[in-house]
Amino acid sequence: MTDLMLYINDTPVGCLLSNNLAENINFIKTCKSTQDMAQKQLPQLHSYSISFEAVYSTDQAIIGWDELKDIGRSRQIMDWSMLNTDTNEGDAGEGFLESLEITGTSEDFVKFTGVITGYGAIVNAALAYNVWAQDSGVYVDNGGGLYVFVN
């Protein structure tokens, strides 16, 4: 099974259920057309956003609701990276927390969702840690001999 792990400020988002990177390119119309009178367009601006869903946790080794709430309310720019746990390859960039929502029911875990709006270009993730998956969960080595279990 391949997992895409999301990191914010080099800390894994804990108890991650799902995450998604969506990229958009805006086009401008030109005065030119093809022989069949189809209009030509040119790519212009590139934008992207990262959406995620996670289970609420108070574990200090991961980033969760409380830390994200503080980042969002202070309007801080954050570093993000999304890594494939099989290949340790992925994308990275900067962004702002656009939205954050927490939900809970009496018969389920408390969950939260968020959206990061990209700031600047997406780059290849510079790996400062290793990620590997086992049956019991996903482990992260930050390069300093500290192993974090994320499930």
| Residue found by looking up tokens 């994308």 in the block | 91
Beta bridge partners of 130: 141
Give the pLDDT confidence score for residue 113 in this predicted structure: 94
Asked if the structure places residue 133 within a domain, the reply is yes
d(C-alpha 77, C-alpha 94), whole Å? 7
CATH number for the domain harbouring residue 84: 2.30.110
Residues 6+ apart with CB under 8 A from 19: 4, 6, 13, 50, 51, 52, 53, 82
> Among 43-47, 68-72, 94-98, 125-129, which stretch is predicted with the lowest mean pLDDT?
125-129
Is residue 34 situated within a structural domain? no
Domains in the chain: how many in total? 1
> Is it the case that residue 144 has pLDDT exceeding 60?
no
Q: Which residue has the higher pLDDT, 113 or 106?
A: 113
Q: What confidence tier does 31 reach under pLDDT thresholds 50, 70, 90?
A: confident
With respect to residue 70, please indicate whether it lies within any of the assigned structural domains.
Answer: yes
Q: What pTM did the predictor assign?
A: 0.74
Residue 105 lies in a domain: yes
Q: Which residue has the higher pLDDT, 142 or 15?
A: 15
- Residue 80 pLDDT greater than 60, yes or no: yes
> Is position 79 within any domain?
yes
pLDDT at 51 over 90: yes
Q: Three-state SS for 114? A: strand
Rounded to 5 degrees, what angle do the CA atoms 134, 123, 137 make?
Answer: 10
Q: For residues 118 and 130, what is the distance between their CA atoms, to the nearest angstrom?
A: 24
Q: Determine the Cα–Cα distance for residues 69 and 121; give it in Å rounded to an integer.
A: 24
Phi-psi region of 9 (alpha: psi -120 to 50; beta: other; left: phi over 0): left
Q: What domain range is 116 assigned to?
A: 4-25+43-150
Sheet of strand 16-33, all strands in order from the earlier edge strand to the far edge: 11-12, 4-8, 78-84, 90-103, 111-124, 39-55, 16-33
Do the domain assignments include residue 139? yes
pLDDT score for 41: 82
Q: Provide the pLDDT for residue 48.
A: 96
